Amino acid sequence: MLPPRSRVVAGTLNLARGGSLLQTEMRRIVESIYGPSVRHLPGLDVGRAYWAATKDFRYGGDMVDVFQYGNGATSLAVVDISGHGIRAARYAGLAKYALRAYASRGLDAVESVRALNRLCIENSEFEAEYEFFATVFFGIVDADRTTMQYVSAGHEAAYVVASDGPQMLNATGPIVGLMDDDAAFNQEIVPLDGGDIFAAVTDGFTEARDEALTFLGATALLDVIERHRTSEAEQQAEAITRYAYEYAGERLQDDVAALVVKIDAEITA
């Protein structure tokens, strides 16, 4: 039998091991929300990357998702939930699967975002969570990959980079969870062509600051895309998040998530 002090030490070690195991399981649960990487879909080269501001937790409220439906259409989602940590990750999962479900039932991009907005508001009231807000970019690429309908709900940085130059996909509505008003959200349609690149980031990229406290800004995303234009989408996404990390002197204040989707030139030619 262990003497009293040894029992205390042993108990402390077991608690530490238990805490470590619990943290590992929690990390696995949260990572399962984000799912495995999707690298290639018919006609699309897909890349996503996530760079956490701290080493304590890999994922938070930044979420990127690509999902292809039975009719051949593909949805692209970039969501930035207010807050950090497990709570934000939980709501990121809610947004991810809600948007998939709405679009799977045939709703277009704007109706899907309107439904998500209502869900966020009602969920906040029901669960007494009054800081459940999110910026959301949600696009649906048609089965032929010639157009994308999209809603940008308070989202800052999303572009389609074509051979004749980039097109910024401007905001078409307020942030989600703030206003219970369907009319506040609208959608736009942007043409796509073979070789085009869609790229979007969360505000951890645009708000990264250097030693002089100068914000990185949205247009820096285009510089990274052009510098790595011939790379695969996954490499481009990783280059985007790494660029923000290095620009901030390896001291990011917020997580950075990036989504890059390249349209196959041969498919749409």
Question: What is residue 83's predicted lDDT score, i.e. its pLDDT?
Answer: 77
Identify whether residues 14 and 141 lie together within a single domain: no
Which H/E stretch holds residue 64? strand 62-68
Compute the distance between CA of residue 222 and CA of residue 159 in angstroms, rounded to an integer: 8
Give the chain's domain count: 2
Compute the distance between CA of residue 189 and CA of residue 176 in angstroms, rounded to an integer: 20
Question: What is residue 145's predicted lDDT score, i.e. its pLDDT?
Answer: 96
- At 92-134, the pLDDT tens digits run 889 999 999 999 999 999 999 999 999 999 998 898 876 778 9
Identify whether residues 95 and 204 lie together within a single domain: yes
- At 137-187, the pLDDT tens digits run 999 999 999 999 999 999 989 999 998 999 999 999 999 999 999 999 999
Please work out, in degrees rounded to the nearest 5, the angle formed at the alpha carbon of residue 75 by the alpha carbons of 69 and 81.
130
The two three-digit tokens of residue 12, written as one number: 């402390």
- At 5-53, the pLDDT tens digits run 333 334 333 434 455 776 676 566 666 666 777 889 999 999 999 888 8
Within 10 angstroms of residue 260's Cβ, the number of other Cβ atoms is: 30
Identify whether residues 3 and 108 lie together within a single domain: no
Compute the distance between CA of residue 199 and CA of residue 213 in angstroms, rounded to an integer: 25
Compute the distance between CA of residue 262 and CA of residue 67 in angstroms, rounded to an integer: 15
34 versus 4: which is more confidently predicted?
34
Question: What is residue 2's predicted lDDT score, i.e. its pLDDT?
Answer: 43
- Residue 137's CATH number: 3.60.40.10
3-state helix, strand, coil in the chain (%, to 5): 40, 25, 35
